[in-house]
């Protein structure tokens, strides 16, 4: 590093080494910096870096790389997005501007001097026509064309992380605004710590995939403790062992989500056990038992949405329920209507429960369309009223434990279904691998569509249950099942 030319022609590790406050830490200089260098060389177009809070991810990827990138390419446009405008301006924007005007930066990159009118912390320009923008994620993105986008800490707190509404909005901004602001060949760096398996970072990776699986994203994950249980921590030289161990002891959710980058791994314990499982190899016919249909509709065919889960149970003796028919798929409303009509026509269920929340009124349109066609089927909405409407999804799913523990839910040993994308899936295996065996409470799995659907079993009350007439108009009520020596809908057969 003896001459300015050598420094100008070098990559990130030499530039970062110019900061006299920096020390050499292997995980930073040997893992993070080489990935940033690969972005700088154009070898990586989408880079995600996940590591715990306080480990210098923002310093390396945002405060230092953004001015280095602009120094080498003063004609380009760079944007940094974070969860709020205060962080964007008072931290990232201000620090990056300080680096852009530092004497050493100006010696290294004389063509990247700022224009005289660059007074703002959130937007300034180089004399070569390049621009830097620092914005909150909810505003200020439109109208710019970008060569580099850095997404740094998009989630502010746990309330936002666990809100589907907030995470849907963040994901919509990414797909509907961020992507169309990028010039051809532009790069994105996403640096953060994870929160839940349904946060915006996981949704982006689910949509666009990882490089090793044929997708777009190169992902670098650096957990606080690796390997688990080793007592070896990522930046123990700086924080000290106690820093990590205090967080590890305090809260499993925080430790596994924010520190280990594995929100599905916290040691709360599986909610459902292998020994509770019961399977059947039957191929029952309609009319043998009373049938009950449950539908938990997904929002759309978009990958950010949950899937539609439809499950058809047959009521056996001893309060046992046999899962006889099954859909798990991303469906638009027309596809869902057609599949529901086909299943109802085949099984003629005693009742068809359809989950609705908020202002959604899908069942109204289904019932009206069925009436116009002369199709004798009624969807009964649940979720907005009734004795269980105030229960959270997690509370409803927890209520399934006694049914599984007592062997009262019997799953098909395998159930093959061809989804709307033409992919043939064993729904039983998918359910066991991705939901039943992985579920540990809120935020522990990416999608709990089938568990959520099954949780509506407790919304059926005798004779499908007391009070179900609340939901069904007198002229639309299905015939009551005829119990044989039992008073519960579950044992009428």
Domain with CATH 3.30.420.240 in the chain: 274-491
pTM, 2 dp: 0.65
Picking from 7-11, 397-401, 409-413, which range would have the lowest pLDDT averaged per residue? 7-11
| pLDDT at residue 333 in the model | 86
* Contacts for 184 with CB less than 8 Å, ≥ 6 apart: none
Q: Annotate the chain with three-state secondary structure.
A: CCCHHHHHHCCHHHHHHCCCCCCCCHHHHHHHHHHHHHHHCCCCCEEEEECCCCCCHHHHHHHHHHHHHHHHCCCCEEEEEECCHHHHHHHHHHHHHHHHCCHHHHHHCHHHCECCCCCCCCEEEECCCCEEEEEECCCCCCCCCEEEEEEECCCCCHHHHCCHHHHHHHHHHHHHHHHHHEEEEEEEEEEECCCCCCCHHHHHHHHHCEHHHCCCEEEEECCCECCCCCCCECCHHHHCHHHHHHHHHHCHHHHHHHHCCCHHHCCCCCCCCHHHCEEECCCCCCCCCCEEEEEECCCCCCCCCCCEEEEEEEECCCCCEEEEEEEEECCCHHHHHHHHHHHHHHHCCCEEEEECCCCCCHHHHHHHHHHHHCCCCCCEEECCCCCCCCCCHHHHHHCCHHHHHCCCEEEECCCEEECCCCCEEEHHHHHHHHHHCCCCCCCCCCCCHHHHHHHHHHHCCCCCCCCHHHCCCHHHCCCCCCCCCCCCHHHCC
CA 411 – CA 313 distance, rounded (Å): 10
Picking from 18-27, 175-184, 349-358, 462-471, which range would have the lowest pLDDT averaged per residue? 462-471
Residue 442 pLDDT > 80: no
Picking from 19-28, 172-181, 210-219, 318-327, which range would have the lowest pLDDT averaged per residue? 19-28
| pLDDT at residue 323 in the model | 97
| pLDDT at residue 308 in the model | 93
Picking from 42-46, 151-155, 283-287, 369-373, which range would have the lowest pLDDT averaged per residue? 369-373
| pLDDT at residue 477 in the model | 38
Picking from 5-19, 136-150, 239-253, which range would have the lowest pLDDT averaged per residue? 5-19
CATH architecture of 274-491: 2-Layer Sandwich (3.30)
- pLDDT: which is higher, 386 or 107: 107
The listed range with the strongest mean pLDDT (42-51, 94-103, 160-169) is 42-51
CA 451 – CA 467 distance, rounded (Å): 24
CA 14 – CA 366 distance, rounded (Å): 64
| pLDDT at residue 382 in the model | 84
Q: Are 411 and 400 in contact (CB under 8 A)?
A: no
* Contacts for 434 with CB less than 8 Å, ≥ 6 apart: 445, 446, 447
Residue 102 pLDDT > 70: yes
Residue 113 pLDDT > 90: yes
> Where does residue 143 fall: left (phi above 0), alpha (psi -120 to 50 degrees), or beta otherwise?
left
| pLDDT at residue 270 in the model | 79
Q: Are 181 and 149 in contact (CB under 8 A)?
A: yes
| pLDDT at residue 105 in the model | 86
| pLDDT at residue 38 in the model | 94
Mean pLDDT of 179-196: 94
| pLDDT at residue 464 in the model | 45
CA 351 – CA 346 distance, rounded (Å): 13
The listed range with the strongest mean pLDDT (204-208, 226-230, 314-318, 414-418) is 414-418
Beta-carbon count within 10 A of 338 CB: 11
| pLDDT at residue 368 in the model | 78
Residue 405 pLDDT > 70: yes
Residue 471 pLDDT > 50: no
Report the Cα 299 to chain-centroid distance in Å.
14
Mean pLDDT of 150-163: 91
Quickly state the pLDDT bin for 412 (edges 50, 70, 90). very high
Mean pLDDT of 414-422: 94
| pLDDT at residue 90 in the model | 64
- pLDDT: which is higher, 305 or 64: 64
| pLDDT at residue 361 in the model | 65
Residue 482 pLDDT > 50: no
- pLDDT: which is higher, 197 or 362: 197
| pLDDT at residue 21 in the model | 62
pLDDT per residue over 450-463, tens digit each? 999 999 998 886 54
CA 473 – CA 493 distance, rounded (Å): 25
| pLDDT at residue 325 in the model | 97
Domain with CATH 3.40.50.300 in the chain: 4-222
* Contacts for 59 with CB less than 8 Å, ≥ 6 apart: none
Picking from 218-222, 278-282, 403-407, 488-492, which range would have the lowest pLDDT averaged per residue? 488-492
CA 252 – CA 21 distance, rounded (Å): 34
Residue 282 pLDDT > 50: yes
Q: Is 181 exposed, middle or buried (0-12, 13-18, 19+ CB in 10 A)?
A: middle
| pLDDT at residue 165 in the model | 83
4-222: CATH topology: Rossmann fold (3.40.50)
Residue 493 pLDDT > 70: no
The listed range with the strongest mean pLDDT (215-219, 294-298, 357-361, 436-440) is 215-219
- pLDDT: which is higher, 464 or 108: 108
pLDDT per residue over 52-101, tens digit each? 999 988 888 998 899 999 999 999 999 999 887 665 556 788 889 888 88
């Amino acid at each position: 590093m003896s001459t300015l030319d050598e420094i100008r022609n070098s990559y990130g590790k030499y530039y970062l080494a110019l900061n006299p406050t920096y020390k050499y830490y292997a995980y930073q200089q040997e893992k993070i910096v080489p990935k940033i260098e690969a972005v700088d060389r154009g070898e990586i177009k989408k880079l995600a870096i996940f590591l715990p809070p306080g480990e210098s991810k923002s310093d390396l990827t945002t405060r230092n790389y953004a001015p280095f990138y602009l120094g080498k390419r003063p004609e380009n446009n760079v944007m940094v997005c974070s969860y709020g405008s205060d962080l964007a301006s008072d931290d990232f924007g201000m620090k990056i501007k300080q680096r852009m005007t530092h004497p050493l930066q100006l010696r290294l990159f004389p063509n990247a001097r700022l224009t005289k009118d660059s007074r703002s912390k959130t937007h300034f320009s180089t004399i070569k026509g390049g621009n830097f923008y620092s914005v909150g994620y909810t505003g200020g993105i439109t109208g710019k064309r970008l060569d580099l986008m850095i997404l740094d800490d998009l989630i502010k707190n746990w309330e936002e992380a666990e809100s589907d509404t907030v995470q849907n909005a963040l994901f919509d901004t990414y797909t509907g605004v961020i992507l169309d602001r990028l010039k051809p060949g532009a790069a994105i760096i996403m640096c953060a710590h994870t929160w839940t398996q349904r946060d915006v970072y996981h949704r982006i990776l689910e949509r666009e995939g990882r490089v090793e699986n044929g997708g777009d994203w190169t992902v670098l994950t650096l957990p606080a403790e690796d390997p688990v249980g080793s007592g070896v921590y990522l930046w123990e030289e700086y924080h000290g062992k106690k820093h990590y161990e205090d967080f590890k002891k305090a809260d499993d959710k925080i430790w596994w989500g924010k520190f280990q980058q594995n929100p599905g791994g916290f040691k709360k314990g599986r909610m459902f056990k292998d020994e509770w499982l019961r399977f059947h190899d039957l191929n029952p016919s309609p009319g043998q038992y009373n049938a009950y249909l449950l539908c938990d509709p997904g929002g759309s065919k978009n990958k950010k949405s949950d899937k539609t889960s439809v499950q058809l149970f047959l009521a056996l003796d001893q309060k046992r329920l046999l899962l006889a028919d099954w859909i798990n798929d991303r469906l638009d409303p027309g596809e869902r209507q057609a599949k529901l009509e086909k299943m109802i026509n085949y099984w003629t269920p005693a009742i068809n429960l359809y989950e609705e929340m908020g202002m959604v009124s899908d069942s109204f349109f289904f019932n009206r369309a069925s009436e116009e066609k002369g199709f004798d089927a009624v969807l009964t909405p649940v979720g907005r009223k009734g004795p269980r409407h105030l229960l959270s999804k997690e509370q409803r799913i927890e209520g399934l434990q006694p049914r599984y523990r007592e062997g009262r839910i019997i799953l098909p040993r395998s159930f093959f279904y061809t989804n709307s994308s033409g992919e043939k899936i064993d729904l039983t295996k998918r359910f066991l691998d991705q939901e039943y065996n992985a579920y540990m409470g809120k935020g522990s799995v990416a999608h709990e569509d089938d568990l959520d659907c099954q949780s509506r079993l407790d919304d059926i009350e005798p004779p499908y249950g007391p009070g179900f007439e609340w939901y069904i108009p007198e002229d639309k009520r299905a015939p009551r099942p005829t119990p044989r020596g039992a008073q519960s809908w579950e044992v009428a057969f």
